[in-house]
């Protein structure tokens, strides 16, 4: 028997396994295999195939599960569609009661669900018991609240319809909660496909849905692999797809849904920086690394996998970290004193091993925790590469395992540059005792979530989601609910006429008729970087009125012009940093200058064939709309979310950076103003393609911009063929978001083209808006699409 002193010296411990008998009994009840949950019942698959679900820590079979076919998906979508009218029509309070009941039942089954999750996924029971499952309950409680408040807090919005939801295996039940709770709160019905490695807690959740008497068809669960997921994505009667998983599959889904009108949110991969400044609490930061990269065996999309350590403390910090690594316990995840469990599947383990081998081959120095690994199961030790190059494979690729890379930096600027040197933008963690430095760094991170002196914190009240190739849309809180809502007015929109997409011909201008003198050259140029510019092609096209008369010429812009415009916009980055008050002043000035030249613009619009009255209404509304966005510039602000105690979680509305805007043919001046003004009011720089048929109202606008102190490069205008230019904008890596108003086919091509860097595309889906109607063409929806929310978590207290 060791003495207490000896125990304290060695810190040896005995196993403390969590009981698994309840889960074993439940699995035994389903010995013949699990079925899909469709229309409120567990139903047989239309096919015969099943797949095995194994315990990754023991290599043992847990269950056989039906493999969903396209027919199963169809049956589930039909059940969801059937349930939708009644569910969406329920008073919010009644939906809230169901969500609340689900939360209560999750809590009642907390122990069971934790053990099941751990057996299915391999994560330590400490995590499933203390983090995953409590957060699941919290998510349903929080969204029970939103269901209660939805009519008052989201007036003018309604549910999207049937939502297809595809989730990964790293937080199986938590990801289910993130998807199902907001969808149901907003009045949608769902078909959810869990990951093939970890479907069991979703099936246990289906039982909870029955227990609480959730109406049939509101939640449907179809199990299966990528093919089942693809069938759900492709189903014509699904109104929205929400996906969490790899960036590669996210891209496929973006392409598959392009032009379908399905609403889309993507939560994808990451390679998040973990910055340690010299003035950080180094011991705290070492614990932070443990939670950042060894939490859930590093299978976390927002894992702090790139350690950036300031040079002066690097050696000391790494020594401390190495010492801490020696104490990490890897083993049976059901053991309550284990820090790290098993990797979810052999294929993922192999992927980690391959990447680590590559890192070594590229010259990285690998440190691994000296722990004993169990002889069975998919285990990998806590690992770190030190002194790697920022451009090495292990620094750039998401390893999705317990492997960090470490590198050093000298100055804060260098830290920020390294941190943002990634195609992803999910999260960042910043360690410094200097609040100025920490917040300055947080503001300059290109990431959707930033944790100051903390890491991997989640709460139902705060939005979670990425910038850049980490996807778009948010999950959680108020911002997450918008993903499951759509403006009510969208329902009644008519299709825009496709004929207007006729190609523009670079024919010479009409010859003067009769004995008229040749007119003074009226070729409108492009407007790039605050200057008029000739189109690269050297061609122009004739702009005609509705009766066919020639009104002048406009430049025929091409991809080179777009690239120049984006470059000019990139140089105007100061606009986003200007105060909102400054931007408001500039917008007021634009409105004032437009007002003083209203007559000219009215004439221009009449030239196109507008009546005097319509022309006046359009100009007047344009002026008012600019005033509206000038007013909003310093009022559409963020929030402080109520998450954990002693934390402020700042939800900041940040501009995207460079936004591409493709204008419709209707209301050539008003639509231009309605799209450009909210975008620049929020601090974006824009590259705009005005209506190809009526570009001259926009080209006349140069003079207004020139005389209104709009800095060069903030608004860039390239005239020409909309869909051709849209393609270049969609494919351009420096364009962070796109608004497309044009034809259905053009919108589809634009969405498809955006799959490369996964920029969000807000498309009119080929519908015509009434630009004079404020409810459609003005308001918070525009400001919301002009911004992305960054949640900055700042803990306080000693
Ligand atoms: P995955 O992206 O293939 O799987 C995620 C989900 O998507 C699963 O439910 C899967 O069945 C489904 N899916 C696969 N192909 C599909 C398709 N064509 N259409 C619709 N659904 C489809 O991820 P996988 O293969 O499990 O893991 C590979 C890598 O992806 C990991 O090593 C990691 O880097 C990354 N990953 C990132 C996650 C995140 O949370 N961001 C989660 C899981 C994986």
* Cα distances (Å, whole numbers) of residue 19 to 16, 204, 344, 374, 679: 9, 18, 21, 19, 56
Give the residue among 311, 374, 292 at the shortest CA–CA distance from 341: 374
pLDDT on residue 605: 94
* Cα distances (Å, whole numbers) of residue 248 to 244, 675, 739, 758: 11, 31, 24, 10
Those residues whose C-beta lies under 8 Å from the C-beta of residue 315, and which sit 6 or more positions away, are none
| Confidence band for 5, pLDDT divided at 50, 70 and 90 | confident
Asked whether the beta carbons of 394 and 386 are under 8 A apart, the reply is: no
Q: Rg of the chain over CA atoms, in angstroms?
A: 28
Q: How far apart are CA 717 and CA 469, in angstroms?
A: 27
Q: How far apart are CA 247 and CA 225, in angstroms?
A: 17
In this model, does residue 354 exceed pLDDT 60? Answer: yes
Q: Spell out which residues line ligand 1, taking CB within 6 angstroms.
A: 166-168, 170, 193, 195-196, 225-226, 229-230, 233, 244-246, 249, 252-253, 268-269, 301, 348, 351, 398, 400
Q: How far apart are CA 715 and CA 640, in angstroms?
A: 32
Residue of 249, 301, 344, 349 to test ligand 1 pocket, by largest number of atoms within 8 Å of CB: 249
What is the percent of the chain where pLDDT is above 90? 91
Residue nearest atom 42 in ligand 1 by C-alpha distance: 245
Residue 36 backbone class (left: φ over 0; alpha: ψ -120 to 50; beta: rest): beta
* Cα distances (Å, whole numbers) of residue 203 to 81, 208, 427: 21, 9, 31
ipTM reported for the complex surpasses 0.85: yes
pLDDT on residue 1: 67
pLDDT on residue 50: 97
Residue of 202, 242, 245, 257 to test ligand 1 pocket, by largest number of atoms within 8 Å of CB: 245
Written as six digits, the tokens of 387 are 């002194």
Give the residue among 411, 401, 450 at the shortest CA–CA distance from 430: 450
User: Which residue's entry shows tokens 């309840």?
Assistant: 22
Residue nearest atom 10 in ligand 1 by C-alpha distance: 226
Q: How far apart are CA 684 and CA 711, in angstroms?
A: 12
Q: Within 13 Å and on the Cβ side, how many CA atoms surround 277?
A: 24
Average pLDDT, the chain: 95
pLDDT on residue 515: 56
508 or 673: whose pLDDT is higher?
673
User: Phi and psi (nearest 5°) for 714?
Assistant: -75, -45
Written as six digits, the tokens of 134 are 């409590």
Asked whether the beta carbons of 694 and 668 are under 8 A apart, the reply is: yes
pLDDT in tens, 460-479: 999 999 999 999 999 999 99
pLDDT in tens, 560-577: 999 999 999 999 999 998
User: Phi and psi (nearest 5°) for 134?
Assistant: -60, -35
Sign of the CA dihedral with 452 first, then 454, 456, and 462 last: negative
pLDDT in tens, 145-158: 999 999 999 999 99
Residues carrying an active site annotation:
267
Q: How far apart are CA 475 and CA 425, in angstroms?
A: 15
Instruction: Measure 75 CA to ligand 1 centroid, in angstroms.
Output: 24
Q: How far apart are CA 465 and CA 460, in angstroms?
A: 13
pLDDT in tens, 318-330: 999 999 999 999 9
Q: How far apart are CA 238 and CA 256, in angstroms?
A: 13
pLDDT in tens, 573-631: 999 988 999 999 999 999 999 999 999 999 999 998 899 999 999 999 999 999 999 99
User: Which residue's entry shows tokens 């907003």?
Assistant: 186
Q: How far apart are CA 795 and CA 439, in angstroms?
A: 12
Residue nearest atom 26 in ligand 1 by C-alpha distance: 168
Residue of 246, 295, 403, 424 to test ligand 1 pocket, by largest number of atoms within 8 Å of CB: 246
| Confidence band for 797, pLDDT divided at 50, 70 and 90 | confident
pLDDT on residue 503: 61
In this model, does residue 511 exceed pLDDT 90? Answer: no
* Cα distances (Å, whole numbers) of residue 30 to 19, 26, 204, 383: 19, 7, 11, 38
Give the residue among 685, 674, 661 at the shortest CA–CA distance from 577: 685
pLDDT on residue 499: 45
The three-state DSSP-derived secondary structure of 501-513 is HCCCCCCCCCCCC
In this model, does residue 517 exceed pLDDT 60? Answer: no
pLDDT in tens, 721-766: 999 999 999 999 999 999 999 999 999 999 999 999 999 999 999 9
Q: How far apart are CA 564 and CA 146, in angstroms?
A: 45
Task: Report, as an integer, the average pLDDT of 198-209.
Answer: 98
In this model, does residue 510 exceed pLDDT 70? Answer: no
- Residue 461 burial (C-beta neighbours within 10 Å; 0-12, 13-18, 19+): buried
Instruction: Measure 155 CA to ligand 1 centroid, in angstroms.
Output: 35
Coil, strand or helix at 157 = strand
The number of the ligand 1 atom at minimal distance from the alpha carbon of 348 is 32
Q: How far apart are CA 329 and CA 326, in angstroms?
A: 8
Residue nearest atom 43 in ligand 1 by C-alpha distance: 245
Q: How far apart are CA 118 and CA 121, in angstroms?
A: 5
Asked whether the beta carbons of 222 and 232 are under 8 A apart, the reply is: yes
User: Phi and psi (nearest 5°) for 363?
Assistant: 100, 5
Residue nearest atom 28 in ligand 1 by C-alpha distance: 246
| Confidence band for 516, pLDDT divided at 50, 70 and 90 | low
β-strand partners of 61: 54
pLDDT in tens, 356-401: 999 999 999 999 999 999 999 999 999 999 989 999 999 999 999 9
Asked whether the beta carbons of 746 and 727 are under 8 A apart, the reply is: no
Residue nearest atom 21 in ligand 1 by C-alpha distance: 229
Q: Within 13 Å and on the Cβ side, how many CA atoms surround 202?
A: 36
Those residues whose C-beta lies under 8 Å from the C-beta of residue 274, and which sit 6 or more positions away, are 288, 289, 292, 293, 304, 305, 306, 307, 308, 404, 428, 429, 431, 455
In this model, does residue 518 exceed pLDDT 60? Answer: no
What is the percent of the chain where pLDDT is above 70? 96
pLDDT in tens, 643-686: 998 999 999 999 999 999 999 999 999 999 999 999 999 999 99
């Amino acid at each position: 028997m060791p003495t207490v002193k000896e125990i304290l010296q060695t810190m040896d411990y005995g196993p403390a396994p969590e009981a698994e008998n309840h889960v074993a009994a439940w699995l035994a009840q389903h010995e013949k295999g699990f079925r899909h949950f469709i229309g409120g019942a567990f139903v047989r698959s239309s096919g015969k195939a099943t797949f095995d679900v194994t315990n990754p820590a023991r290599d043992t079979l847990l269950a056989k599960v039906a493999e969903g076919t396209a027919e199963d998906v169809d049956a589930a979508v039909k059940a969801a569609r059937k349930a939708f009218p009644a569910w969406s029509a329920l008073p919010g309070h009644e939906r809230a009661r169901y969500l609340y009941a689900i939360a209560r039942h999750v809590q009642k089954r907390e122990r069971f669900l934790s053990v099941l999750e751990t057996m299915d996924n391999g994560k330590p029971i400490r995590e499933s018991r203390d983090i995953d499952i409590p957060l699941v309950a919290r998510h349903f409680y929080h969204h029970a609240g939103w269901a209660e408040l939805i009519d008052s807090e989201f007036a003018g919005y309604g549910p999207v319809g049937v939502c297809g939801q595809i989730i990964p295996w790293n937080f199986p039940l938590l990801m289910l909660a993130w998807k199902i709770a907001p969808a149901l709160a907003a009045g949608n019905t769902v078909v959810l496909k869990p990951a093939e490695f970890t479907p069991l807690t979703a099936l246990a959740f289906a039982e909870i849905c029955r227990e609480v008497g959730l109406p049939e068809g509101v939640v449907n669960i179809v199990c299966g692999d990528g093919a089942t997921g693809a069938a759900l994505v492709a189903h014509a009667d699904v109104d929205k797809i929400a996906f969490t998983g790899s960036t590669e599959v996210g891209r496929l889904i973006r392409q598959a849904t392009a032009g379908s009108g399905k609403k889309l949110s993507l939560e994808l991969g990451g390679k998040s920086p973990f910055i340690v400044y010299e003035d950080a609490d180094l011991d705290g930061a070492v614990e932070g690394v443990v939670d950042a990269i060894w939490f859930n065996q590093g299978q976390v999309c927002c894992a702090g996998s790139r350690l950036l350590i300031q040079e002066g403390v690097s050696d000391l910090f790494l020594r401390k970290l190495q010492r801490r690594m020696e104490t990490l316990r890897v083993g049976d995840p059901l053991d309550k004193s284990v820090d790290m469990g098993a990797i979810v599947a052999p294929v993922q383990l192999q992927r980690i091993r391959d990447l680590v081998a590559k890192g070594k081959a590229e010259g990285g120095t690998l440190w691994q925790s000296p722990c004993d690994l169990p002889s069975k199961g998919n285990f990998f030790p806590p690992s770190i590469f030190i002194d790697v190059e920022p451009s090495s494979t292990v620094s750039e690729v998401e390893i999705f395992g317990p492997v960090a890379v470490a590198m050093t930096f000298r100055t804060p600027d260098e830290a920020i540059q390294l941190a943002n040197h990634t195609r992803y933008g999910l999260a960042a963690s910043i360690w410094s005792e200097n609040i100025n430095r920490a917040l300055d760094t947080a503001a300059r991170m290109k990431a959707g979530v930033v944790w100051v002196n903390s890491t991997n914190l989640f709460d139902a009240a705060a939005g979670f989601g990425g910038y850049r190739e980490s996807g778009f849309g948010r999950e959680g809180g108020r911002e997450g609910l918008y993903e499951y809502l759509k403006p009510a007015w969208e329902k009644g929109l008519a299709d825009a006429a496709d004929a207007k997409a006729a190609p523009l011909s670079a024919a010479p201008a009409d010859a003067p008729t009769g004995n008229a003198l040749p007119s003074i050259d009226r070729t409108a140029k492009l407007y790039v970087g605050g200057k008029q510019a000739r189109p690269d092609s050297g061609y122009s096209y004739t702009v005609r009125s509705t009766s066919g008369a020639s009104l002048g010429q406009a430049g025929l812009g091409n991809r080179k012009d777009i690239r120049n415009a984006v470059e000019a916009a990139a140089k105007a980055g100061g606009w986003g940093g200007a105060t909102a008050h400054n931007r408001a002043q500039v917008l007021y000035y634009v409105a004032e200058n437009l007002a003083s030249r209203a007559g000219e613009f009215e004439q221009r619009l009449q030239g196109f064939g507008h009546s005097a009255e319509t022309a006046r209404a359009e100009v007047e509304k344009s002026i008012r709309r600019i005033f509206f966005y000038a007013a909003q510039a310093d009022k559409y602000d963020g929030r402080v979310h109520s998450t954990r105690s002693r934390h402020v979680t700042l939800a900041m509305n940040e501009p995207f950076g460079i936004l591409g805007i493709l204008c419709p043919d209707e209301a050539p001046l008003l639509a231009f103003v309605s799209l450009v003004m909210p975008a620049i009011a929020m601090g974006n720089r824009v590259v705009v393609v005005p209506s190809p048929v009526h570009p001259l109202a926009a080209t006349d606008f140069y003079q207004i911009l020139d005389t209104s102190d709009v800095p060069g490069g903030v608004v860039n205008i390239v005239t020409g063929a909309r869909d051709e230019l849209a393609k270049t904008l969609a494919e351009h890596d420096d364009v962070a978001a796109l608004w497309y108003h044009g034809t259905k086919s053009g919108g589809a091509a634009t969405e498809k083209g955006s799959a490369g860097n996964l920029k969000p595309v807000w498309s009119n889906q080929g519908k015509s808006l009434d630009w004079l109607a404020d409810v459609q063409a003005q308001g918070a929806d525009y400001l919301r699409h002009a911004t992305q929310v960054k949640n900055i978590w700042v803990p306080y207290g000693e």
